[in-house]
């Protein structure tokens, strides 16, 4: 590790008391640990049953003293980017808003979950794959901590993950984004204002598009109440009819559900009280705030088997109506059930168990996780949102003013797409949220940047523009992008919100520049420009430029 000098410091075990190990010791525990350049492996054997909260592996960073850490947020909505190790964050005015993008168990904004990297001139990447142990990372005052959250009673041989370490010139673990899915979703034009007639009007225009779409997804607004999952009156019990009409267009129907969330006006909240998550005083626990759902909303207690049965029953009914893509949203609310968890299972293990059960019951249907823990594991998600909701607008100054980190805006969404290229799409296809074919507020640089970035650095291209308002010319940039296939990311660097990617394509090199900053910056011209050719060597605020070297 030439660029970094890290010195192993200690291992802390959090039982009822904190036990520190620097080597094998103790009559009741046997600990082996192996620390190499490319991995960390612990072996722990307990002779007596104990509740083990977590294990912390601590390093002291000797050089560089100003190392930065990649903050990979807890959920798909969490803002994820490189931070200074002692960065301070503001709190939103409503504490439950933190649950939308932070770990509900311990909402610390400085933690990085499931993977991270330290940055100097090179990158030192730490990650754990297919692990049943909740893993997160923390850097403060040049102490780098790897946290293995066990959070249950254990004895005998304890199953602990390998922490893999990779030193690299660029922070990407998988460079292949060639598998593409195209689709339409109702959310970013209609939001909750949908009904049978609006949906069918768009279905009728599917075959007039110049591109083929794979999915047509109905978002929030079809249901009567969050938690009950019955069709609201203006859908006229037509979901089965709608799914059949979508199939007639050779497109797969998709639907939105927040399976673990419950609003206060729902029938289940009023009549099935035992299923609702409650605190030790028997009061329902708010798990978020959404003005579209009447303000504070609640969750099912997912440590109850009858709650799992209820969720499966509702999803299977939608499956029987013909839906093949399930956008499962607000999945973070599952983790609020940690307050009722049993001692023999962590809430993380419980979540994996339930999500795999849902996937098994839905059979060939695809799961698109949203507001979901960013878990690097096979068999949980087919597709995962990789950033917060986007918007037809570059920045949302109101949410920034009140200290809400999950800013609903194009900038924040794109930043996640750029930084989270590190992990996707090894375990799931990456969904960066929609592109805007005909935006009203984004300028042409911003509109084109979203299309270009999402095409090269993700797998999912969805849009929400009314299909009856679009013509072939509106898709000209996307159609040109679709001609670029079998490409691979070979290099990535960034500074001052200017990002540069090198992409291998047909024995050529594509140079992609992205300027997320609010100032004009200079770039080095390499090759011939592909789109919107200009003669200067500047890149304007929020612009992306693409060159090919033959």
The full 3-state SS of 349-365, as one line of letters, equals HHHHHHHHHHHHHCCCC
Would you say residue 17 has pLDDT above 70? no
Helix (DSSP H) and strand (DSSP E) numbers for the chain: 10, 30
User: Residue 28: is its pLDDT beyond 70?
Assistant: no
Where residue 1 falls among pLDDT bands split at 50, 70, 90? very low
Is 4:118 a contact under the CB 8 Å cutoff?
A: yes
- pLDDT above 90: percentage of residues in the chain: 74
Query: What are 106's two structure tokens?
Result: 């311990």
Considering only CA atoms, which of 542, 546, 545 is closest in space to residue 520? 542
Considering only residues 531 and 3, tell me which one the structure prediction assigns the higher pLDDT: 531
Q: What is the pLDDT of residues 116-145, one digit of tens each?
A: 999 877 889 999 999 999 999 999 888 999
State the pLDDT confidence band at 29, using cuts at 50, 70 and 90: low
DSSP letters of 104-128? SSS--TT-EESEEEEESSSEEEEE-
Q: What is the mean pLDDT of residues 389-396?
A: 96
DSSP assigned state of 240: H
- Confidence grade of residue 26 (pLDDT, cut at 50, 70, 90): very low
b/e map of 400-426 (b: 16 or more CB within 10 Å)? eeeebbbbbbbbbbbbbbbbbbbbbbe
**Spatial contact of 359 and 507, defined as CB atoms under 8 Å apart:** no
Instruction: List, as one string, the DSSP characters of 381-435.
Output: -SEEE-SS---SSS--HHHHHTT-SS--SHHHHHHHHHHGGGTTTSSSEEE---B
- pLDDT at site 21: 60
Task: Give SS3 for 320.
Answer: helix
> So what's the pLDDT on residue 9?
85
Give, as one character, the DSSP assignment of residue 284: B
- Cα distances from 225 to residues 15, 126, 229, 265, 325, in angstroms, run 43, 42, 6, 7, 21
The pLDDT of 44-49, averaged and rounded, is 87
DSSP label of 263: -
For range 305-317, the mean pLDDT = 98
Predicted confidence band at 263 (pLDDT cuts at 50, 70, 90)? very high
Report all structural domains of the chain as residue ranges with CATH numbers, in order of start: 5-168 (no CATH), 181-257+306-482 (3.20.20.70), 491-549 (2.60.40.1180)
- Cα torsion 196, 184, 431, 330 to 10°: value is -10
Tokens of 459: 């797998």
Rounded to whole angstroms, the Cα distance separating 459 from 420 reads 13
pLDDT of 82 above 90: yes
Mean pLDDT: which of 247-261, 272-286, 387-401, 529-543 is highest?
A: 247-261
| Predicted confidence (pLDDT) per residue in 427-451, tens digit | 999 999 999 999 999 999 999 999 9
What integer pLDDT is reported at residue 24 of this predicted model?
Answer: 44
3-state DSSP call for residue 228? Answer: coil
The CA-CA-CA angle for residues 445, 452, 374, to 5°, reads 115
Candidate from 79-93, 183-197, 514-528 with smallest mean pLDDT? 79-93
Question: Of the given ranges (5-19, 36-50, 342-356), which has the lowest mean pLDDT?
Answer: 5-19
Give every CB contact of residue 483 below 8 A, 6+ residues apart in sequence.
none
Percent of the chain residues topping a pLDDT of 70? 96
CA 291 to chain centre: 23
Tokens representing 186 are 């109702």
The answer on pLDDT for 311 being more than 90 is: yes
- Predicted confidence at residue 413, as pLDDT, reads 97
Among the listed residues 487, 415, 427, 423, the one whose alpha carbon sits nearest the alpha carbon of residue 455 = 487
CA atoms within 13 A on the CB side of 370: 21
Instruction: Give Cβ neighbours of residue 44 (< 8 Å, ≥ 6 apart).
Output: 29, 30, 31, 32, 55, 157, 158, 160
Q: What is the 3-state secondary structure (H, E, C) of 492-525?
A: EEEECCEEEEEEEECCEEEEEEEECCCCCEECCC
Q: How many CA atoms lie within 13 A of 542 on its CB side?
A: 19
| Better pLDDT: 97 or 296 | 296
Do residues 77 and 388 lie in contact, with contact meaning Cβ atoms separated by under 8 Å?
yes
Taking Cα atoms as reference points, which of 245, 243, 176, 252 lies closest to residue 212?
252
Cα separation of the two ends of the chain: 35
Query: What is the predicted pLDDT for the residue at 18?
Result: 64
Identify the pLDDT of residue 485: 94
Q: What is the pLDDT of residue 11?
A: 87
């Amino acid at each position: 590790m030439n660029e970094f000098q890290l010195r192993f410091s200690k291992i802390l075990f959090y039982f009822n008391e904190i036990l520190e190990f620097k080597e094998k010791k103790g009559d009741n525990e046997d600990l082996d640990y192996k620390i190499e350049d490319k991995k960390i492996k612990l072996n722990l054997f307990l002779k007596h049953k104990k509740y083990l909260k977590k294990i912390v592996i601590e390093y002291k960073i000797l050089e560089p003293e100003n190392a930065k850490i990649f903050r990979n947020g807890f959920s798909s909505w969490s803002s994820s980017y490189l931070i200074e190790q002692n960065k301070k964050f503001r709190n939103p005015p409503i504490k439950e808003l933190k649950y939308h993008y932070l770990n509900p168990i311990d909402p610390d904004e400085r933690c990085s979950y499931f993977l991270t990297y330290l940055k100097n001139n090179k990158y030192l990447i730490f990650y754990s794959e297919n692990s049943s142990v909740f893993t997160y990372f923390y850097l403060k005052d040049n102490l780098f901590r790897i946290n293995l959250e066990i959070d249950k009673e254990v004895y005998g041989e304890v199953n602990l993950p390998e922490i893999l370490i990779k030193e690299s010139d660029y922070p990407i673990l998988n460079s292949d984004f060639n598998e593409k899915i195209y689709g339409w979703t109702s959310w970013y034009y209609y939001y909750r204002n949908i009904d049978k007639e609006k949906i069918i009007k768009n279905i009728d225009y599917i075959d007039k598009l110049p591109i083929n779409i794979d999915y047509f997804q109905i978002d929030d607004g079809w249901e009567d109440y969050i938690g009950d999952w019955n069709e609201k009156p203006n859908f006229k019990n037509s979901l089965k009819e709608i799914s059949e009409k979508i199939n007639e267009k050779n497109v797969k129907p998709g639907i939105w559900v927040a399976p673990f969330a419950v609003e206060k006006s729902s029938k289940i909240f009023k009549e099935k009280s035992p299923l609702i998550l409650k605190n030790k005083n028997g009061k329902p626990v708010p798990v978020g705030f959404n003005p579209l759902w009447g303000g504070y909303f609640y969750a099912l207690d997912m440590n109850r088997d009858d709650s799992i049965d209820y969720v499966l029953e509702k999803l299977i009914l939608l499956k029987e109506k013909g839906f093949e893509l399930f956008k499962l949203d607000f999945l973070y609310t599952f983790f609020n059930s940690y307050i009722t968890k049993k001692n023999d299972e962590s809430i993380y293990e419980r979540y994996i168990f339930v999500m795999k059960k849902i996937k098994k019951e839905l059979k060939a249907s695809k799961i698109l996780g949203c507001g979901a823990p960013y878990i690097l594991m096979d068999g949980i998600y087919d597709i995962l949102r990789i950033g917060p909701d986007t918007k037809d607008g570059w920045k949302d100054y109101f949410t920034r003013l009140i200290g809400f980190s999950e800013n609903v805006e194009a900038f924040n969404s794109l930043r996640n797409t750029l930084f989270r290229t590190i992990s996707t799409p090894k375990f799931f296809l990456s969904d960066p949220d929609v592109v805007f074919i005909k935006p009203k507020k984004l300028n042409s640089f911003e509109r084109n940047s979203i299309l270009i970035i999402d095409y090269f650095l993700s797998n999912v291209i969805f849009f929400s523009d009314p299909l009856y308002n679009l013509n072939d010319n509106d898709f000209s940039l996307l159609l040109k992008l679709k001609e670029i296939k079998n490409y691979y990311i070979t290099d990535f660097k960034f500074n001052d919100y200017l990002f540069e990617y090198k992409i291998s394509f047909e024995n050529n090199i594509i140079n992609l520049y992205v300027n997320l900053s609010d100032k004009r910056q200079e770039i080095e011209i390499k090759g011939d420009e592909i789109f919107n050719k200009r003669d200067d060597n500047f890149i304007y605020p929020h612009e992306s430029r693409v060159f090919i070297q033959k």
